[in-house]
Amino acid sequence: MGRKGQSVSIERKHEIRNEIVMLLCEFVGQERKGIASSIANEAILQMEKQTERPVVHETKPIDQLEITYNYCGVCGRQPQTQLDEPNYGPVRYWDPDDGWRIGNLCRHCHKEARTRGPEPGDFAYHEQDTIDINTDDDPYKALT
């Protein structure tokens, strides 16, 4: 089987499925081949979920980001005065609805987005690696 993050060919999936069915039939008997086939199909689905799981992205720690008074790209919070806690950025982060973004985050949203990466159940989950840039600051800083 493939390691996490690697895809498995369709031919190999069929081979693995047939091996699972054969082994299960030896254990439960040929008369229960339908059940063995269902179990094998579920095993293949679970294997696909494991190989499709993307590597989690980790943003820079908050103490390595510049302060900004632009709005937070997640919750919309914007510091009104110099006495309000600033936002931080620019930072690259994953938004489950919009995909990869570069923008500014408040302390709370940065903590939530710190290790969040794409997951197959997210609305924005797709194979392309695109980034929505939404900041007045230099977006290059978020990628270095």
pLDDT value of residue 6: 47
Q: Give the CA distances from residue 106 to residues 4, 57, 64, 113, in Å, rounded to whole numbers and listed in that order.
A: 33, 18, 14, 10
CA distance 110 to 51: 28
pLDDT value of residue 51: 54
What single letter denotes the amino acid at residue 141?
A: K
**pLDDT reading at 20 higher than 90:** no
Q: Are 62 and 110 in contact (CB under 8 A)?
A: yes
Q: Read off the pLDDT band of 126 (50, 70, 90).
A: low
pLDDT value of residue 1: 39
Higher pLDDT residue, 5 or 30?
Answer: 30
Q: Give the CA distances from residue 34 to residues 31, 38, 42, 114, in Å, rounded to whole numbers and listed in that order.
A: 8, 6, 13, 45
Q: Give the CA distances from residue 71 to residues 15, 67, 109, 129, in Å, rounded to whole numbers and listed in that order.
A: 53, 11, 12, 25
Mean pLDDT calculated for residue range 59-69: 88
**pLDDT reading at 2 higher than 60:** no
Q: Are 110 and 91 in contact (CB under 8 A)?
A: yes
pLDDT value of residue 70: 92
CA distance 45 to 47: 5
Higher pLDDT residue, 71 or 6?
Answer: 71
Higher pLDDT residue, 8 or 68?
Answer: 68
Q: Read off the pLDDT band of 106 (50, 70, 90).
A: very high
